Amino acid sequence: MHEIELKARAKINLTLDVVGKRPDGYHEVEMIMQTVNLYDYITIRKMRAPGIKLKTDLKWLPEDERNLAYKAAKLMVETYNIDQGILIELKKRIPVAAGLAGGSSDAAAVFVGLNTLFDLNLQKTDLMDLGVKLGADIPYCILTGTALAQGIGERLTKLPPMPFCHVVIAKPPISVSTAHVYKSLNLEEISFHPNTEEVIEGIKKRDLRKIAKNLGNVLESVTIKEHPIIEEIKNTLVEYGALGSLMSGSGPSVFGLFENSKDAQAAAKELRLHSKAKDIFVTTIFNRERV
């Protein structure tokens, strides 16, 4: 095999709770993660000339060691002594720094892709152990599907696939740094914790309404205070028929869960016409195994 093409899919957080802080500054979390069918395209090619080369179609995204896809390739090359050259082409579709784990998912796709391309025969768990060195969300992006994430996000328990539904994702035109949001969170002041058990129960019973009613993210308390537009988008999604809506991760993206595609399209149309959000996607949850 000379070349491999992959889709690097975004995630949403159905719940995000922070339950403690570690001495190194990282936070202990408990979150239910879900893959959605919004993706970047990644092609990896073996090259004659040695070294790693990355090209992206997003002009301002770095193509060097600052890019998580490059970092993932470098870590694989060094760890498994890959001596052939690699060219990675990245077509960016997931908004950047949006709470959707776009960069983490690109890195995950590079780990998985290189494992296949070079017949390394590594287990997913080997790749996940390597992935966490670059970011807390990367192990989940390697696993994909519906999962409970604990520890700093790397301790994963697969859950039954959540019931199919339509998802509208809207990213307001603001930048949010994950590090800033975690740093600004005061653990003693968290007044509302999501009921993770109820959502797991909803997933097991395939009860979309129960899931949607119990969505919750403690990081909203930080990001919404700084950017009230997030609350406005959440309200619009519910007004237009979402069973529930929530900020994803550290934000600023907001998602709404819909039973039918017509309502999802109508909500997206309303946001396109009357909100400041520019990046608006109508997609679905995604639970098939990664190819």
Ligand X SMILES: Nc1ncnc2c1ncn2[C@@H]1O[C@H](COP(=O)(O)OP(=O)(O)O)[C@@H](O)[C@H]1O
Return the closest-CA partner of residue 177 out of 128, 131, 219, 230: 219
What do you get for the CA distance between the two ends of the chain, in Å? Answer: 15
Q: Which of 23, 25, 66, 121 binds ligand SUD (CB under 6 A)?
A: 25
**Strand 254-258, strand 166-171: pairing:** antiparallel
Contact 30, 196 (CB under 8 A): yes
Backbone angles phi, psi at 146, to 5 degrees: -100, 125
Residue among 4 and 33 whose Cβ is closer to ligand SUD: 33
Q: Which two tokens stand for residue 210?
A: 């129960």
Catalytic residue list contains 92: no
145 annotated binding-site participant: no
Tell me whether residue 244 is annotated as binding.
no
Closest CA to 151 of 33, 35, 31: 31
Nearest distance from residue 89's CB to ligand X, in Å? 12
Exposed / middle / buried, residue 30 (Cβ in 10 Å: 0-12, 13-18, 19+): buried
Q: How many whole angstroms separate alpha carbon 254 and alpha carbon 170?
A: 5
11 given a catalytic annotation: yes
- Scanning 24-32, 79-87, 198-206, 222-230 for contacts with ligand SUD by CB under 6 A, the matching segment is 24-32
Say whether 105 counts as a known binding-site residue. yes
Site for ligand X in 225-264 (CB under 6 A): 249-250
Binding mask 228-267 vs ligand SUD (x if CB under 6 A, - otherwise)?
Answer: ---------------------xx-----------------
Find which of ligand SUD, ligand X, none residue 131 binds, CB within 5 to 8 Å per kind.
none
Name the residues that contact ligand SUD, by CB under 6 A. 13, 16, 25-27, 29, 31, 99, 101, 104, 135-137, 152-153, 178-179, 182, 249-250
Q: Please give the annotated binding residues, written as ranges.
A: 95-105
Residues belonging to the active site: 11, 137
